[in-house]
Chains A and B, each alone.
Chain A
Amino acid sequence: MPTITFVEPDGTRRDVAAHPGESLMAAATRANVAGIIAECGGSAMCATCHCYLVAGTLPEAEPLEAETLEFVARNTRATSRLSCQITVTDTMEGLVLQVAPQ
C-alpha cells in the first residue's frame, strides 16, 4: 500500500495509505482530504478532485482527463491532474499531490 501525500488547500499535509487498484480520488475521499469533493464519483464530469502533481511521476493523462482539465477546471497548471482518473499502483510510494483551489 503506497503512501500518498495530499497537501490540503490550507497547507496541511495528509499522508494517506492508498490501495493499489483504487483511484487517487477514492483514497483521498476515504481519508476525508479537504478540498477533494469528487461530486461525480469518478466520471470526469466535475473536476472537483483537481490536484497538482508536486513530487513523483504519473502516467500521461488520457484524452478524457486532459480535455476535461483544459475546458473546465479552474486554476489549471501544467501539473494539473484529475485524481479520479489515476489508478493507484505500488510504484506511487511517496507521490505528493496538492489539492487545487476550486
Chain B
Amino acid sequence: MSGVVIIGAGHAGSQLAVSLRAEGYAGAVTLIDASDALPYHKPPLSKTFLKDPAALPQPLRAASAYKAAGVTRLTGTVTAIDTAAQTVTLHGAALDYDHLVLATGARNRMLPDLAGAANVHSLRDLADAERLRAALADAAHVVVIGGGFIGLESAAALAAMGKTVTVLESAPRVLARVAAPETSARVEATLAGLGVTIRTGFSAGGFTRQGDRIHAVQGAQDTVPCDLLLVGIGAQADTALARAAGIACNQGILTDSHLATSAPHVWAIGDVAETPHWQADAPLRVESVQNATDQARHLARHLAGAAPAAFCTVPWFWSDIGPLKLQIAGLALGADRRVLRDDGARLAVFHLAGDRLVSVETLNSPADHMIARQLLDAGLTPPDAFMQDGAPAMKAWLAQA
C-alpha cells in the first residue's frame, strides 16, 4: 500500500489525513484507528454529551470528506512497527509505508488502588463517556478526583444534572498547574455557586471498597462517600508501540522541531509527541486540539513536498466550566509577573517573563483572548496600561505597533 500510514484517528490523525491531500500529496493515505467510529470531537464529551442522554458524538468531518480525499480508513490495533523494513503489523499482516505518522495520543492515568472497580470512571474517549453517562443514572453523589480541566468541566456538567458533586484536589487550589491563583479562585467560587463542593489540599489516603465498588474516599480527617468516582488526574502519552520499535521516547515520543522521530520516515504528532517548543527550554508534550491540528497541518505540508520547517505556533487552550469560558494563549513558563484586569464578570491575567508577554488567560472575555493570540503571534508586549484597559485599547495599540 505504501504512501503515508497514520496510526490514530483523533484530532491530529484525522486532520493529517485530509490535509495531506489538500496540500497536494499524491500517494496513498491510510488512517488506522482502534475504533471504527467516525473520528469525533473530544472536548464535548465532558460537557454536552454527558448532559444529554440522546447526544451523539460530533464528527470532526463527514465520512464523505475522507472519501473525497482518497483516505483509506482501517479499523484495528497496530501490533508492531518494523522501522528497517518500513512496515507496520495490522491483523497479523504487514503494511508498507513510505512515511509512518504516530498519532496515538494519550491514556488517562488511574490510581492503582482503583483498578477494576465497577463504579470508577475516567474520561477521554467516546467509550469512556458512554460508560460514564450510562452509570450516572444510578449515581446521586459523584466524587471527582482531580481539579483539572476534565474534572472541573465534568463537575459543572454533573451539578447541572442535579448530582451532588464533590471535587477532591490535592493541591492548595484547582487548576494549580495551568492557571493563575486569581483564575483558580474565580473558578472555585463559580463552581461553589453551582452547588459543587471543592476540597483543596485533600490527599486521598485510601478507599473504602465493598466487593467491586468504591463507597468512600478516605482523607486525613474524614471520609467522603460516593456512588460514583470520576478520576481526572492527567494522562500519559501512548508510547508503547514506539518504544517496542526502538523509537526514542521520554514522556512522549521524542521528535525534532520538524516532528521527525529518531527513526527514518517516522513522525509523531498530537498529544503523544514530545517536541522542542519555542517557549520552553526542553521538549514538551502539549495536550490540546490546537496543537494536534496545527502539527498535523505542519507535517502535511512537508510530506506533500514543502521544505522542512520548524513547528512554531502560539498554543491556545480552552475549557468550558459551567458558565465560565476559560481561554489560555501561550505558555506561562518562566513568567515572573502578572497584570490583571478584573471587572467582576470578566477576568484577564497577563503573564510576563521580564518585559515580555508570554501567556494570557481569560475568563469570559473572548476579546482579550483573541487579541492576546495576535500579540503573542507578533511577539509584542503592550504597556501595562493597555492590558489593564482591555481589548479595544490593545487592538488600537496593536494596529499602530
Known: A29-B61, A30-B62, A32-B68. A64 touches B318 (CB 8 A): no
Cα separation A42 to B367 with both chains bound (whole Å): 17
Interface residues of B in 49-65 (CB under 8 A from A): 58-62, 64-65
Known: A67-B366, A71-B395. A41 touches B43 (CB 8 A): yes
Q: What chain A residues lie within 8 Å of B44 (beta carbons)?
A: 41-42
Q: What chain B residues lie within 8 Å of A31 (beta carbons)?
A: 62
A64 contacts B325, C-beta separation under 8 Å: yes
Q: What chain B residues lie within 8 Å of A30 (beta carbons)?
A: 59, 62
Known: A67-B367, A71-B366, A71-B395. A45 touches B316 (CB 8 A): yes
A32 contacts B43, C-beta separation under 8 Å: no
Band of interface residues on B: 20 to 34
Interface string of A49-84 (1 = CB under 8 A from B): 000000000000000100110111000000000000
Is A26's beta carbon under 8 Å from chain B?
yes
Interface string of A25-47 (1 = CB under 8 A from B): 01001111000000111111110
A71 contacts B293, C-beta separation under 8 Å: no
Known: A41-B43, A71-B395. A29 touches B325 (CB 8 A): no
A70 contacts B62, C-beta separation under 8 Å: no
Cα separation A10 to B395 with both chains bound (whole Å): 32
Is B166's beta carbon under 8 Å from chain A?
no
Is B314's beta carbon under 8 Å from chain A?
no
B62 contacts A64, C-beta separation under 8 Å: no
Smallest CB–CB gap between B209 and chain A, Å? 37
Cβ 8 A contact of B318, one of A26, A43, A70: A43
A32 contacts B65, C-beta separation under 8 Å: yes
Q: B-contacting residues of A (Cβ < 8 Å)?
A: 26, 29-32, 39-46, 64, 67-68, 70-72
Question: Can you list 14 residue pairs at the A/B interface with Cβ under 8 Å?
Answer: A31-B62, A32-B65, A32-B68, A40-B318, A41-B60, A41-B289, A43-B320, A45-B316, A45-B318, A67-B366, A67-B370, A71-B370, A71-B371, A72-B366
